[in-house]
Amino acid sequence: MNQVKDLLLLFISSSLVSNVVLSQFLGLCPFLGVSKKVKTAAGMGTAVIFVITLASAVAGVIYEFVLVRFHIEYLQTIVFILVIAALVQFVEMFLKKVIPGLYEALGVYLPLITTNCAVLGTAIKNVQNEYGIVTGIVNGFATAVGFTIAIVILAGIREKTEFNDVPEALKGSAIVLVTAGLMAMAFTGFSGLI
């Protein structure tokens, strides 16, 4: 029962308290670039959930059973990048075949998941915090859920601001950055949860 409690606390911590985008500032490129429409943001969030969760699982297994076993832990960053690149290619092929509309809507941002520092950062964080495979998967899933929450909220706000009277100096990227900053400040309110 204690392990379930610890995993639940880790989930809340990784998704809300230590949100990968709003408190660690990782994954800002897709966060700002794909957040124009809620539908596209949700699709990107779903792809990121799949990639980060799977990358956490595969990276955890490879780290524990290959890198540690052969004392080549120093190769972790290179190995994790290769794992992430392969998983993103799989997701890209899957979306192109099964959901071509979402594939087209994501455009160039789908291959950018490969270079999304949130994915690599999560894999490295799992190793640094000495999480086991299951704990690493939960952390990866929670981190990706936190990313999805943040990007969908920003997309919803951006859709609403299209119809608002925004001062000329704040139009475009400026209002998006101000909104993201306000969201980051709002998410600090979760810091008292854990």
Helices 133-161 and 38-62 pack at an angle, to 10 degrees, of 160
Q: What is the pTM of this model?
A: 0.90
d(CA 194, CA 182): 21
The amino acid at 63: Y
Percent of the chain residues past pLDDT 70, beyond the cut? 100
**Tell me: the pLDDT tens digits for 140-164?**
999 999 999 999 999 999 999 888 8
Closest CA to 32 of 173, 164, 144: 173
Distances (CA, A) of 1 to 16, 74, 133: 23, 35, 18
